[in-house]
C-alpha cells in the first residue's frame, strides 16, 4: 500500500476519528459550521470579485475593498479550513477516495495559484486603476477565475455527500483510477 493510503488508514483508526464519526452532535455541528461559513468566506470573496469585475461597488476603491473586506474573508477561511479538516478527519478513507473530494482539492490548488498570481502580478500597478469603476482586463480575469473556482469548490464539496462514484460500488476503469480504488480497503464501510 502507498504511504498516503497507509496514513489515511492510520488516521481512520485513531480514537478521535472514530469518536467524531460516531458522535451524535459534534459531527453535525461541525458540518453546519462548515456550510454556514460559506456566507462569510465565499460571500465576501464574491463581493470583492464583483468589484474587480466592475459589476458592483464601483464607487469604492479596490484598495478599500481589499483592506476592509478581505480580513473577513480570511476569518471565514480559517473557519472553513478548521472545520473542513475535522470533517475529513471524521471520515478519512471514504473522503480520500471520493472523486468529488479530489476534484475539490485540485480546485483549491487552482484558487491558491490564482490568488498568488493576482497579488504578485495583477495587483502590482493597482495604484493606477484603484478608483477605476472597471479595472483592467487582467484583474477582471483573475476575479472571474476566482468566482468560478470558488463556486465549483462549493458544488464539489456538496457532492461529496453523494456516493455515485464511491469505490465500494462498481465503477468504470477511469473512475477507479481517478478515485484510487486500487488502494481502497475492502473491509471498511
Partner 1 sequence: MSLYQQFAGVEAGRLGATIKGSLWLFPAIESVHLLALSVLGGALLMLDLRLLGAGLTLQPVSAVEKSARPWLLAALATMIVSGVLIAVSEAIKLYDKGAFWVKMTALAGALLFTFAVKNPLARRDISGIGARALGATSILLWLTVAIAGRWIGFS
With CB under 8 A as the contact rule, the residue among 14, 28, 163, 188 that binds partner 1 is 28
| Binding-residue total with partner 1 (CB under 8 A) | 33
Counting other chains too, the contacts that 135-140 makes at CB distance below 8 Å and 24 or more residues apart are: 135/52, 135/53, 135/54, 135/62, 139/52, 139/62, 140/52, 140/53, 140/54
With CB under 8 A as the contact rule, the residue among 7, 16, 116, 162 that binds partner 1 is 162
Distance from chain centroid for Cα 181: 23
The 3-state DSSP class for residue 21 equals helix
Report which DSSP code applies to 41.
H
Scanning 13-21, 63-71, 91-99, 124-132 for contacts with partner 1 by CB under 8 A, the matching segment is 63-71
On the CB side of 138, how many CA atoms lie within 13 Å of its CA?
12
- Which of 8/150 has CB closer to partner 1? 150
With CB under 8 A as the contact rule, the residue among 11, 35, 79, 105 that binds partner 1 is 35
- Which of 8/165 has CB closer to partner 1? 165
With CB under 8 A as the contact rule, the residue among 8, 12, 30, 42 that binds partner 1 is 42
- For Cα atoms 142, 145, 148, give the angle at the middle one, nearest 5 degrees: 150
User: Residue 147 CB, nearest distance to partner 1 (Å)?
Assistant: 10
- Per rule CB under 8 A, is residue 50 in the interface with partner 1? yes
Amino acid at each position: 500500500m502507498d504511504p498516503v493510503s497507509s496514513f489515511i488508514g492510520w488516521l481512520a483508526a485513531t480514537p478521535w476519528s472514530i469518536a467524531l464519526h460516531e458522535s451524535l452532535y459534534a459531527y453535525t455541528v461541525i458540518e453546519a459550521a462548515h456550510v454556514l461559513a460559506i456566507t462569510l468566506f465565499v460571500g465576501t470573496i464574491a463581493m470583492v470579485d464583483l468589484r474587480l469585475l466592475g459589476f458592483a461597488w464601483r464607487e469604492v476603491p479596490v484598495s478599500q475593498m481589499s483592506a476592509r473586506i478581505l480580513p473577513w474573508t480570511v476569518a471565514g477561511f480559517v473557519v472553513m479550513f478548521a472545520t473542513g479538516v475535522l470533517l475529513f478527519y471524521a471520515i478519512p478513507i471514504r473522503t480520500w477516495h471520493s472523486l468529488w473530494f479530489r476534484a475539490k482539492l485540485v480546485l483549491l490548488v487552482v484558487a491558491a495559484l490564482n490568488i498568488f498570481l493576482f497579488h504578485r502580478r495583477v495587483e502590482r500597478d493597482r495604484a493606477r486603476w484603484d478608483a477605476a469603476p472597471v479595472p483592467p482586463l487582467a484583474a477582471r480575469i483573475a476575479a472571474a477565475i476566482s468566482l468560478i473556482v470558488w463556486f465549483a469548490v462549493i458544488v464539489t464539496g456538496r457532492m461529496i455527500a453523494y456516493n455515485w462514484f464511491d469505490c465500494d460500488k462498481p465503477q468504470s476503469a477511469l473512475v477507479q483510477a481517478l478515485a484510487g480504488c486500487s488502494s481502497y480497503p475492502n473491509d471498511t464501510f
